[in-house]
Amino acid sequence: MGHPAVNLDKNSDFEVVKDWNGIDQIVLKVPSGASVRVSLHGGQVVSWRNEKGEELLFTSSKAIFKPPKAMRGGIPICFPQFGNCGSLEQHGFARNRIWSIENDPPPLNTNSKFGSGKATINLLLKPTDDNLKSWPHCFEFRLRICLFMDGHLSMTSRVRNVNGKPFSFSFAYHTYLSVSDISEVRIEGLETLDYLDNLSQRERFTEQGDAITFESEVDRVYVGSPTVIAVLDHEKKRTFLIRKEGLPDTVVWNPWEKKSRSMLDLGDEEYKQMLCVDAAAIEKPITLKPNEEWTGRLELSSVLSTCCHDHLD
Ligand SMILES: O=P(O)(O)OC[C@H]1O[C@@H](O)[C@H](O)[C@@H](O)[C@@H]1O
């Protein structure tokens, strides 16, 4: 993806630039050189770079940067539905809506492990009349995205019920990690867990034995997964650490060759360079009573593979 450079606004934390379709994107930068780019289209993180300027998220070379659809890559937000398990459009409407910047959101208590030095943006989504027709529940969805001095990225979602009645929803941070070669990658932290297999009508299976590796299409929801999951990329000697709170499930998705060929916005061979590992709440939807708020938090970091085992306890 090219990086547009029209500077519209500035404060200490972020810059606002326009993408090719004139939609605002937020750029967060920290002095180490790490950066994050967030599109108001979908509240979607579209780029996360470490201090060396290396892109850590996958973006398809055929991605379509045009509303109303989410572009293929980055971190789309799936809400209030995951996949096609409901009457709404696939993965819900949040990823296809234009979000707004919220300058003064209600306070949020966080105990981040990454310290306080950071650049932050707060976004807000409320339902449109159209959304209310298909999903008749009034909500406020606040998304706080922080980039820490050491390049760690955190995303905190808060969904508040501002309705007179309870409602339920599913949620996922649909995270497209950039990997060297899918056959060189393994996931640690999901061994022996139960999963719902989207390739077999969500039938429940139990993962056997070792770390997860890839040699064909995978589309699974691991239920009740631990709070820390590691994605190890041997070739790059890089490990992604995924920490989550309020998000009991983990989706693992790679479309492999045949499905990639059927997807207009993914190159035929590009499945090799991506792996989706989503912190999610799917098996048991979240239910909120009137005025209740739910928080779901994701922290992503990328470390040298030799350093990661200390973090996995
Ligand atoms: O093409 P979409 O709507 O972005 O979805 C991509 C994939 O997203 C994954 O999270 C789902 O588990 C898959 O079933 C789905 O194919």
Per the domain annotation, does 227 fall within a domain? yes
CATH number at residue 36: 2.70.98.10
Q: Which residue has the higher pLDDT, 104 or 76?
A: 76
Beta bridge partners of 17: 25
Per the domain annotation, does 1 fall within a domain? no
User: Which residues does the annotation place in the binding site for substrate?
Assistant: 72, 90, 95
Distance in Å, CA 279 to ligand 1 centroid:
14
Q: Calculate what percentage of the chain has a pLDDT beyond 70.
A: 91
In the predicted structure, residue 41 carries a pLDDT above the cut 50:
yes
Average pLDDT on 97-111 reads 88
Closest-lying ligand 1 atom to the alpha carbon of residue 259: 16
User: Which residues does the annotation place in the binding site?
Assistant: 72, 90, 95
Residue 116 confidence (pLDDT): 58
Mean pLDDT of the chain: 92
Element (H, E) at 228: strand 228-233
String of DSSP letters for 230-291: EEEETTTTEEEEEEEES--EEEEEE-HHHHHHH-TTS-TTGGGGEEEEEEEEEEEEEEE-TT
Tell me the per-residue pLDDT of 153-188, one tens digit each, with 9 for 90 and over: 999 999 999 988 999 999 999 999 999 999 999 999
Distance in Å, CA 78 to ligand 1 centroid:
10
Per the domain annotation, does 269 fall within a domain? yes
In testing the pocket of ligand 1, which one of 62, 174, 247 has its CB within 8 Å of the most ligand atoms? Answer: 174
| pTM value > 0.90 | yes
Per the domain annotation, does 4 fall within a domain? no
Q: What is the largest CA-CA distance in the chain?
A: 53
CA dihedral for 273, 180, 113, 120, sign (positive or negative): negative
Tell me the per-residue pLDDT of 220-263, one tens digit each, with 9 for 90 and over: 999 999 999 999 999 999 999 999 999 999 999 999 999 999 99
Which residues, other chains included, contact 37 with Cβ-Cβ below 8 Å and sequence gap of 6+?
Answer: 3, 25, 26, 27, 28, 45, 46, 47, 48
Average pLDDT on 189-204 reads 97
Distance in Å, CA 84 to ligand 1 centroid:
9
How many beta carbons lie within 10 A of that of residue 55, not counting itself? 14
Can you tell me which residue has the tokens 């572009």? 71
Distance between first and last Cα of the chain: 36
Per the domain annotation, does 130 fall within a domain? yes
Range scoring the smallest mean pLDDT among 8-22, 91-105, 192-206, 266-280 = 8-22
Q: For residue 76, what are its two tokens? A: 């789309």
In the predicted structure, residue 306 carries a pLDDT above the cut 90:
no
In the predicted structure, residue 298 carries a pLDDT above the cut 90:
yes
How many beta carbons lie within 10 A of that of residue 46, not counting itself? 24
Beta bridge partners of 268: none
Average pLDDT on 2-28 reads 71
How many beta carbons lie within 10 A of that of residue 142, not counting itself? 21
Average pLDDT on 275-300 reads 98
Residue 66 confidence (pLDDT): 85
Q: How many domains does the chain have?
A: 1
Domain that holds residue 214: 9-312
Tell me the per-residue pLDDT of 25-36, one tens digit each, with 9 for 90 and over: 999 999 999 999
Per the domain annotation, does 228 fall within a domain? yes
Q: Which of 153, 249, 151 minimizes the C-alpha distance to 202? A: 249
Per the domain annotation, does 217 fall within a domain? yes
Cα-only R_g, the chain: 18
